[in-house]
């Protein structure tokens, strides 16, 4: 009889231990899932904040554009403003004025020509090497 009592006690201990471990594992899984959900919410929040900032920038740009248009409408009757627009946008000149255009030398074309020269010389060398190899074999 003594041996049966020890087995029952051992089963109860195993059962309590099992439930304790299972509860701990379930608790850890729940904590992990909450952390993952919180991280996803944080990412979504950051995405929405960046969208809000982009929209705010667009609103500011539109406000500036609207203000410029309002100023242009208000100055549409001003002859000095119309003359300024004619000079800037249309390239108009007063009688006796000459328009001067400055042309800066283009350095990029020289660099492109040098690179083309290198490519042409390299391709020439490669084709000569290929023909030499063909003649040997």
pLDDT tens-digit series, residues 49-88: 999 999 999 999 999 999 999 988 888 788 888 777 777 7
**44: pLDDT strictly greater than 70:** yes
104/3: higher pLDDT: 104
Report whether pLDDT(107) > 70.
no
Distances from the Cα of 70 to the Cα of 58, 61, 76, angstroms: 18, 14, 10
Judge whether 81 and 75 are in contact, CB under 8 Å: yes
Residue with tokens 């439930």: 19
Residue 91, pLDDT > 80, answer: no
């Amino acid at each position: 009889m003594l041996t049966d009592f020890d087995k029952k006690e051992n089963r109860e201990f195993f059962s309590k231990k099992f439930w304790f471990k299972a509860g701990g594992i379930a608790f850890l899984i729940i904590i992990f899932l909450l952390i993952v959900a919180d991280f996803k919410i944080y990412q979504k929040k950051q995405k929405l904040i960046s969208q809000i900032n982009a929209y705010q920038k667009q609103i500011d740009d539109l406000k500036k554009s609207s203000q410029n248009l309002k100023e242009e409408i208000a100055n549409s009757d001003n002859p000095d403003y119309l003359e300024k627009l004619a000079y800037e946008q249309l390239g108009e000149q007063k009688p006796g004025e000459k328009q001067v255009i400055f042309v800066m030398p283009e350095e990029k074309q020289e660099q492109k020509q040098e690179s083309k020269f290198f490519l042409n010389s390299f391709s020439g060398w490669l084709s000569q090497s290929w023909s030499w190899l063909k003649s040997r074999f």
